[in-house]
Structure 1
Amino acid sequence: MPATVALAMLQREGRWLMQLRDDVPGIVGPGCWGLFGGHLEPGETPEQALRRELVEEISWCGEGLQFRFLHHHPRRLAHVFVGHLTVPLEQLRLLEGQDMALVSATELRSGSIWSPKLGCKRPLVDGVAEILERLLPPDLG
């Protein structure tokens, strides 16, 4: 049975907030870039879970989050939400993961994102590219 999660695609000034996951064996996508969010606790709605996860991961309570679609992946069923990051990146406190960055659509489409903290590129979590393609504006290049 796949896990049920809620994920946030947050935009600020034409860029998208991404989380570089910890290099911990046993977690989904260790050392890869993914979206902020996480598992639903018993009795939580997807939106409640997402708001809780955002506070736990970046100390920010999501505002104006809108559900967009369900993404089916062999390991998870993701409730995908979109919204605007209403504060500058510097006001967030990264409490889970090894890095975070605001990333352009071009960088996201490349499948590999630069980590300012690690000083290297890391790939996307498996399945995230499919979510991004459904949400990113069309590539005009």
Structure 2
Amino acid sequence: MNHAVADINAAKTESVEMIVMAYLAAWNEADDQTRRRLLELAWCETAVYSDPTARVVGQQALSEHIHAFTMRYPGVRLELTSPVSAHHDCVHFTWRATDGDGFTLREGRDVGKIARDGRLCDLVGFFGV
């Protein structure tokens, strides 16, 4: 691979990493307005999120889903546990959810699509992997 292509790929991966970090920050944000702003940065308006427990469409629905999750698990925090891997319009990363004491509640893997504007437009979560 020539250096120009490698530089473009590295820049694209870095941009996707920032989007994933904003997405994870939304899961860690208690304030509804701040969470919504993070999702506006990271999530397409009509994006679909699905995992074994839910399927939601759009920024507002995802924000409400995150709020319900954080009410169910007070003090929960999500953290990235792998590098963000991206190519073409696809992204992949693993994460861990911990409670307020740092105990692991759940680990998972997300696989998704990146829209033309650089935001997540489809994300599928898998638990226990």
Q: Which bin holds the TM-score, normalised by the shorter protein?
A: 0.3 to 0.5
Q: Which has the larger radius of gyration?
A: 2
Greater per-residue helix proportion: 2
TM, length-normalised to structure 2: 0.33
